[in-house]
Amino acid sequence: MTLTKAKFRENCLKKLKQQPKHNQLYKNLMLNQKLLKELKKRKNCSILFYYPLGFEADIRKTLLKMRQISNVYVPFMQQQSFKMVPFRLPLKKKKFGIFEAGNTIRNINKIDIAIVPAIGVDTNLQRVGFGKGMYDRFFAKLKKKPYTIFIQPEICYTKEKVCDSYDISCDMLLTPKTKIVKK
């Protein structure tokens, strides 16, 4: 039986939601340390972060530290995709329970690094997300692909190719225990 993208997503979501809570703080700490180490190698960058949902890896510590030395942006949902806005407080809870910074009239269309949450990753290091395609549509609009880092709180990887051609791929996958770099 061949694994489908939908079945793989379902398996990964189940795995994420069943993570034990007792070591979640430790895992987030490990992941933040790894991510910060990677980002500090690149100076004066524009970085797109995500603001985590409850079961996603909590990278807020890295976001706040990088905000002091880099231009930091977060997604602001618009129709079927999003645009980038500067990270600034206060954040407001919006659609899908996602916290967003306020809108801006600035048209930001160039970033050096994108930090993207991933539910699962296939053999080509392509992302399986929530199934809405927001990141895929956003990346399709960019003129230059940024260095992309996928973040997972727990590795959910398949050696099968389950993603479509339009699904974004990463240059690096980070979990608390794993670091995979695309060759």
In tens, the pLDDT along 132-161 reads: 778 888 888 888 899 999 999 989 988 989
CA gap 70, 183 in Å, rounded: 26
The string of DSSP letters for 69-132 reads TSEEEEEEEETTEEEEEE--SPPEE-GGG-EEPPP-S------SEEEEE-SEE-TT-BEE-SSS
pTM of the predicted protein model: 0.88
Domain boundaries, the chain: 5-181
pLDDT tens string 78-134: 776 677 788 887 878 876 677 777 777 777 778 999 999 999 998 899 998 887 778
Model confidence at 61: pLDDT above 80: yes
Q: How far apart are CA 68 and CA 50, in angstroms?
A: 17
**Fold entry, domain 5-181:** Rossmann fold (3.40.50)
Q: What is the largest CA-CA distance in the chain?
A: 50
State the DSSP code for 169. Answer: B
Confirm if 87 and 74 have CB atoms less than 8 A apart.
Answer: yes
